[in-house]
Amino acid sequence: MNREISKKELLENDIISHYATPLDILSQTTDDYLFLLDIEKDVNRFFGDISAEFSIDIDENGTNTTDKFIAVVHPNDREVLLNDINDIRQGKKDFHNIDYRLINKNGKSVWVSCRGAVIRDLNGNPLIMIGRISREALAHMYNPLTGLFNQIKLLSDIKIELPQRKSGYIILVDIDDLSAINLTHGRAYGDDLLITIASLMEKIPSISKVYHTERNYFAGIVEVETDDNIREIYSFLCDSLSEKCTITTAALPYSSEIFSDEDTLYNALKLVMSKAKDNGRRSLKFYKDEEFKQKITSVSLLEEFQESVNNNFEGFYLNYQPQVTSSDYKLFSVEALLRYTSKSSGRIFPDEFIPLLESTKLIIPVGLWVLKTALLQCKEWRKYIRDLHISVNFSVVQLRDKNIVSDIFRVLDETDMNGDCLTIEVTESIPADGKSWFISIISELKKRNIQIAIDDFGTGYSNLGYLRDMEIDEIKIDRMFIKDIEKDTYNYRLVENTISFAKTNSIRSCCEGVETPKELAFLESSSPDIIQGYLFDKPCFPEEIYESYMDPESAKYKTRIEFLKALAEYKSQTSPITFNPKNILRDTNVGLWIIRTSHEKGINELHIDDTMETIMGIDKKLTPSECYKFWHDRIREDYAEYINENLLLITTLDKVVQLEYPWNHPTMGEVMVRSNGKLTKREDDFVIIEGYHRILSNIKTV
Ligand code: C2E
Ligand code: CA
Ligand code: CA
């Protein structure tokens, strides 16, 4: 198409009407807002109902001027936008491509991606620009609460900017104890705090960009030269927030001379943050402190790693942690855990060095070395325990390597071991978009009977239905849910439900991080298959495993047997209390439930006990999300709104709320139901409501 149009033609046909019809039609096919800017006259016409969302001052022809448009642009973004439009007006560029925030009718900022192409006249002067304003293009890149860009956008910006960067800083700001603040003052207060910090940081002139990278983390790109400048910013933030909270801040130089890529940089930032917290919160920590230089200067440590890899993995070694069967505590498997002793900085922990290995992909050769060493060790131990298993951790970086399956098979061949002795542990941080890719790896590995365990279950996004579809062999329930389980009814029920779901789907369940006999006694009432934790053993050297489990003559073996006796004694003393409320509830048809909801993650779960399952007429195992849907879909239509409103209300009250509503029972038809519930817990992104449920229609009173 010839994009050049004669001035004459334009004068004859008003340019806006010339393009209006096709744009009008096109706008019906997209959620984006299309626009046509007459550059010369500064008349802008929108297609699509932009004024429904933003309070844009538009005249009866659907047009306005740049000035009027700028009024709904976030003040911090106006300059960038105006500069770009000026460049276009002066003919300096033919394409417009910037991101900025518009303020919507509720006063919230919404990031939009705005793109346009300029059409020039025959003399080469810019005449009009046609383009689109899209919210969708950036929807996955910002945080809906603060309207700031998120971690995805930060990493993609660093990727572009880093190569040219020699100066400036990146800081990461964390609110200390946000969860506790949420608990004491309520979620709304915590949200306000996040918004306050966001706008404080945005007002600091030397911070050129602010990102809301994770729930309680803000990152800022700071255009200053010295550490002292950063200290000033930190104390300004602390002073401004002193009434409300304390903060911890990590800072590092934004320079390609120090960091090779965006992942290394962000990982280092988080490491500095975790160090800052180790020193107690309320602090500011710089990357360049000597202590860091030694430990995590990626350059020197990475060189050391590379050298180790070339040098037959010198410095790397494995510890093994037993996984025992529940109730008889036989050694079922050992988990191989990687360790590293650095020549320059001594012993370093996996939480520190694994991210570094991952960022350089060195984890791939190291991981295969781990696999081989662990398999050979298992082979040796199988002389004593015939069916011993070995569990090896694989991170997503390792699994994404295109040769991973053939490499694993090759190591099996080299060590002359069968796949069925091997369990591969994968954290559940496999992104949802990676599901099909992940499923195909699993099915490849299954060809040689390798088993798959989902590590740290409960901490990420996966739900039980997802695991059932994926043919997982084992779930490792994270220590976060096990810790103090005897005091936490929510965790207890969650673990109980997970284990029972696993059982019905023939998935093995393992409880991680069991430290006390009390925790063990509570867990065992749900009969998990496997237990792992310091209560039995910390990660050990191979000789220690041999002595404790395979050499009946050794002192360690005898100590272990003594310990098992003491444990049995303890359990018999604390065994079932005679008063069992569960039976009473069952006999009186009172079902117990927990609703776990996250608006942010779009998750609604209903966890129920066996009685509730029976009285709701559920005849097969449902996942908590399926269960929620089952319950909710059966509320009589005209009551659904009432229930939804009250569920929201409960989350703001510290009281028990009672609801009565008609519910469509699968076999009994419509019944009246009464539910009493109360908010019991707020976690970072979740609220938890607990309560009981009974059917009123069939209760016989005497
Ligand atoms: P993980 O796979 O969740 O490993 C379990 C971690 O929990 C280990 O930490 C272990 O020492 C610790 N642990 C076990 N029982 C208890 C307990 O009762 N209480 C407490 N507080 N902690 C307990 P470790 O060895 O520091 O490993 C940290 C993480 O590093 C591992 O978490 C795993 O994700 C990763 N990792 C370790 N070795 C490898 C490896 O060879 N390859 C890969 N990709 N990752 C590895
Ligand atoms: Ca693991
Ligand atoms: Ca784990």
CA–CA distance, 254 with 265 (Å, rounded to integer)? 8
Q: What is the pLDDT of residues 661-671, one digit of tens each?
A: 999 999 989 99
Ligand whose nearest atom lies closest to the CA of 457? 3
Q: What is the pLDDT of residues 263-298, one digit of tens each?
A: 888 888 888 888 887 776 788 988 865 555 444 455
Ligand whose nearest atom lies closest to the CA of 456? 3
Alpha helix locations (H) across 297-421? 298-310, 350-359, 363-381, 396-399, 404-415
Q: What is the pLDDT of residues 621-673, one digit of tens each?
A: 888 899 999 999 999 999 998 898 888 888 877 777 888 899 999 998 999 89
**Distance from Cα 320 to the centre of ligand 1, integer Å:** 10
Considering only the C-alpha atoms of the chain, give the largest distance between any 2 of them, rounded to a whole number of Å: 104
Q: Which residues, at least 6 apart from 685, have a Cβ–Cβ distance to it below 8 Å? A: 215, 598, 600, 601
What is the pLDDT averaged over residues 76-84? Answer: 93
**Distance from Cα 319 to the centre of ligand 2, integer Å:** 12
**Distance from Cα 302 to the centre of ligand 1, integer Å:** 21
**Distance from Cα 79 to the centre of ligand 3, integer Å:** 48
**Distance from Cα 420 to the centre of ligand 3, integer Å:** 21
Task: Supply the pTM of this predicted model.
Answer: 0.54
Nearest CA to ligand 1 atom 16: 513
Please report the pLDDT score of residue 324 as a whole number.
98
Residue among 274, 318, 354 whose CB has most ligand 1 atoms within 8 A, to mutate:
354
> Which residues have C-beta under 5 Å from ligand 2, the single-atom ion?
393, 425, 455
**Distance from Cα 624 to the centre of ligand 2, integer Å:** 25
Are 241 and 247 in contact by the 8 Å Cβ rule? The answer is yes
**Residue 132 structure tokens:** 């689109």
**Distance from Cα 393 to the centre of ligand 2, integer Å:** 5
Residue among 337, 428, 520 whose CB has most ligand 1 atoms within 8 A, to mutate:
337
**Distance from Cα 539 to the centre of ligand 1, integer Å:** 9
**Residue 261 structure tokens:** 């890529």
Are 243 and 220 in contact by the 8 Å Cβ rule? The answer is no
Q: What is the pLDDT of residues 9-33, one digit of tens each?
A: 555 456 667 788 888 888 888 889 9
Q: At residue 702, does pLDDT exceed 50?
A: no
Nearest CA to ligand 1 atom 41: 338
Mean pLDDT of the chain: 87
Please report the pLDDT score of residue 583 as a whole number.
61
**Distance from Cα 626 to the centre of ligand 3, integer Å:** 26
27 φ, ψ (degrees, to nearest 5)? -65, -20
Q: What percent of the chain has pLDDT over 90?
A: 47
Residue 635: DSSP 8-state = B
Q: At residue 564, does pLDDT exceed 80?
A: yes
Amino acid at 593: W
Quick one: which atom of ligand 1 is closest to the CA of 398? Answer: 44
Q: What is the pLDDT of residues 574-628, one digit of tens each?
A: 654 333 456 666 667 788 899 998 877 788 999 888 888 888 999 888 888 999 9
Quick one: which atom of ligand 1 is closest to the CA of 319? Answer: 25
Nearest CA to ligand 1 atom 45: 393
What is the pLDDT averaged over residues 197-213? Answer: 94
Q: At residue 453, does pLDDT exceed 50?
A: yes
What is the pLDDT averaged over residues 153-165? Answer: 92
What is the pLDDT averaged over residues 107-119? Answer: 90
Nearest CA to ligand 1 atom 8: 337
**Residue 598 structure tokens:** 């996250």
**Residue 607 structure tokens:** 């966890």
Q: Which residues, at least 6 apart from 179, have a Cβ–Cβ distance to it below 8 Å? A: 682, 683, 684
The more confidently predicted of residues 550 and 40 is 550
Q: What is the pLDDT of residues 390-438, one digit of tens each?
A: 999 999 889 989 999 999 999 999 999 999 999 999 986 655 555 677 8
Nearest CA to ligand 1 atom 37: 337
Q: At residue 109, does pLDDT exceed 50?
A: yes
The angle subtended at Cα 400 by Cα 398 and Cα 405, nearest 5°, is 75
**Distance from Cα 451 to the centre of ligand 2, integer Å:** 13
681: pLDDT confidence band, cut at 50, 70 and 90?
A: confident
CA–CA distance, 15 with 400 (Å, rounded to integer)? 52
Ligand 1 is surrounded, with C-beta below 6 A, by 321, 337-338, 349-351, 354, 367, 370, 393-395, 425, 455-456, 479, 513-515, 532-534, 539
Nearest CA to ligand 1 atom 24: 350
Quick one: which atom of ligand 1 is closest to the CA of 392? Answer: 41
Quick one: which atom of ligand 1 is closest to the CA of 339? Answer: 38
Nearest to 497 by CA among 353, 609, 579: 609
Q: What is the pLDDT of residues 361-394, one digit of tens each?
A: 899 999 999 999 999 999 999 999 999 999 999 9
Ligand whose nearest atom lies closest to the CA of 394? 1
**Distance from Cα 39 to the centre of ligand 3, integer Å:** 59
Residue among 340, 358, 393 whose CB has most ligand 1 atoms within 8 A, to mutate:
393
Question: Per residue, what are the HEC states of 460-482?
Answer: CCCCHHHHHHCCCCEEEECHHHH
Nearest CA to ligand 1 atom 27: 350
Nearest to 524 by CA among 388, 321, 320, 324: 324
173: pLDDT confidence band, cut at 50, 70 and 90?
A: very high
185 φ, ψ (degrees, to nearest 5)? -105, -5
